[in-house]
Structure formats: C-alpha cells, structure tokens
Amino acid sequence: MSDSPVPANPAPPPQPAAAGGAPILSVRDLAIRFRTADGTVTAAADVGFDIRAGEIVGLVGESGSGKSQILMSLMGLLASNGHASGSAVFRGEEILNAPARRLDALRGASMSMIFQDPMTSLNPYLRVSTQLVEVLERHRGMTRAEAMAQALAIMESVRIPDAARRIRLYPHEFSGGMRQRVMIAMALLCRPALLLADEPTTALDVTVQAQILELIADLARSIGTAVLFVTHDLGVVARLCDRVIVLYGGRIMESGEATDIFGDPKHPYTRGLIDSTPRLDERSHGELRTIPGQPRAAQLAPMGCPFEPRCPHRVVRCRTERPAPQEAGLRQLACHEVRL
C-alpha cells in the first residue's frame, strides 16, 4: 500500500539527501485516472518521488506504463477526461490541480517541458523567433528587442549553426534534430528550476539522439536545472541520470541511484529490463532477450503487484497483496520476494 497515510502534508524525503539540498519537487500518492467509455482507467497510482535541485532523474518503463501521463499531470496538461489526485509540491507550492492562472505563471518560467515529437510541437505558422520571444515577453516582461537578443543567445547555446539567420525561419525549414534543439532552447529560455523531458529523442534519427541528450544534460547542469527524463532507453539513463525510477503498470517498482540500480538491480522487472538491453560488447550473437508476456492493460487495476503475470519469481500472494515499499538509504523497492 502507499507509504504514507497522510497524503497532503509534504513529508520530508525518506533520507537526508546525499545529493544535498531540499527537494524542489515532492510527489506523493500521485494517481492519474481517465474516464473512458469503458469505465475508469488508472494510468498511475501510488507514485511518490523527490527531485532535488540540479538533479537528473530518469523515469523508466515500457510504453503504457504511465510515465508520460505523470509529466502531463505535473504540467497541468492532462487530457480533459483525465484527473490527477494526490500531491505534487513544487518549491513549496502545490501544483497538482492548481488554478490555471497560477500554473501559467510557473509553466515556461520555472518549470518547462520538452515533448516527444519535435515535428509537431512547434507552431508551423509562426516564425521560430516569434515562438521564442513570446515566452520572454510573457514571463520576463521584456521588450521585443531584449527578448530577441536573449532568444538569439539561447539559439546559439543549443548549438544551432547560423542562428541569427535561422531564428527568422519557420519550423518546417528545420530538420527534426534542429527542431528539438529549438524546443530545448524554448524550454530553457527562462532558466527553469525543473525541466520535464518526455522521451525527447524517440522521434529523432539515431545519429542525433546522443547529441540531443548530451545537450540537455550539459545545459541543465550548467544552469542548475533539475531534469526529469522520461524514457524507455536504459542506455540513456545509465549515461546521464543521477537517479532512476522504474515504473511498471503505473506503479513504482524500484528506485535509487543510477549506479546502484545498474550495478545491482533488485526487482525482477528491473533485472528483466537490463537483461533485455542489447550490449555492443557482448560477444555472443544470440537472440535478443525479452521479458515474456505483454504489459498489463491498465484498466485491470490488479490488487497485487502489476508485474505478477510476467514475473519469473512470483508467488501466490503477489497476485492478491500489493508489496509494501522497502527502503534503504535512497533506494526503494516494491517486491515480496526480493529483499533490499
């Protein structure tokens, strides 16, 4: 069951943070539900985590595990049939279901988001300069000229060549990778405290994926922005992230520092994920390993562990009883069979 019976009070992080500093984002008991024609679908439940200033956290899981919806709920961008409950405190302020005016003061300024598909996330009818400048006009009250100068500077810092000319262009005149650079520039314009990145490289060529990821991580570190990375690419997480949260069926299976998780994965699902990541240095040219079975349809809302149907170590009570989270240091684990 959930780790705290009192949902509203932002509880202090489970451990004195080794990374230092109080969390800038504390999520507790987050649940996301969608009303559909077939009834209520639960996309995520009992989700809780902290993000400290400047930290890069990876949120990992298969398609449909609810990772993107968690980001959407934090930004107040859930679809109209979606509802989030629980609490998310951002720099001392409750942002879950906060009024739109309050959210508009934060969004784009102190928290911003990069979306999955750079091809459609920019407005095709407006120049890139217009789309950058309007953020600064809205949040920083700058004049057009000041905003333009700053927009140009950020275009250069995301390493868009010939930025002075390109800023006058329309999005369709950019390649996918360049458009995602523009999106990154737009998200970082106001030097936000928190950046939410929803699979920012999935839609891109493999050759530019690494560049974009490095760029996000570099810039975030240089301006002290914390990043919550949603991805299903474990390689990305291992390389860039300080901490990892592993999600399955809308619930957290395991979380901890990246080095610990990859050095010693505990949860059967995490192990399956790591085992099924192809490695270049592997000598055997055998078959790709997979986790048997299909992700559970969210509306089944199981009583027990969501991973139970596919788990190689399942026992009877995994089906009926939800494993209580075990904690040790920064590490958390939800499993009946494996001990921390």
Interface ranges with another protein (CB under 8 A): 75, 77, 100-101, 103-109, 112-113, 115, 117, 120-126, 134-135, 138-139, 170, 172, 183, 186
Sorted by sequence, the CB contacts under 8 Å of residue 117 that are 6+ apart come out as 203
Q: Which is nearer to another protein, 172 or 289 (CB)?
A: 172
Q: Which residue has the tokens 């996309």?
A: 43
Q: Which is nearer to another protein, 183 or 291 (CB)?
A: 183
Cα–Cα distance, 177 to 154 (Å, whole number): 16
Q: Which is nearer to another protein, 11 or 75 (CB)?
A: 75
Q: Which is nearer to another protein, 137 or 257 (CB)?
A: 137
Least Cβ distance, residue 255 to another protein (angstroms) = 26
What DSSP string runs through 137-194?
A: HHHH---HHHHHHHHHHHHHHTT-TTHHHHTTS-GGGS-HHHHHHHHHHHHHTT--SE
Q: Which is nearer to another protein, 124 or 141 (CB)?
A: 124
Q: What is the dihedral of CA 13, 327, 74, 140, to 10 degrees?
A: 40
Least Cβ distance, residue 230 to another protein (angstroms) = 14
Q: Specify the DSSP element, H or E, that contains 295.
A: none
Least Cβ distance, residue 123 to another protein (angstroms) = 4
How many alpha carbons fall within 13 Å on the CB side of residue 76? 18
Least Cβ distance, residue 135 to another protein (angstroms) = 5
Q: Which is nearer to another protein, 198 or 254 (CB)?
A: 198
Cα–Cα distance, 198 to 8 (Å, whole number): 27
Least Cβ distance, residue 122 to another protein (angstroms) = 6
Q: Which tokens in the block code for residue 30?
A: 């987050």
Least Cβ distance, residue 254 to another protein (angstroms) = 29
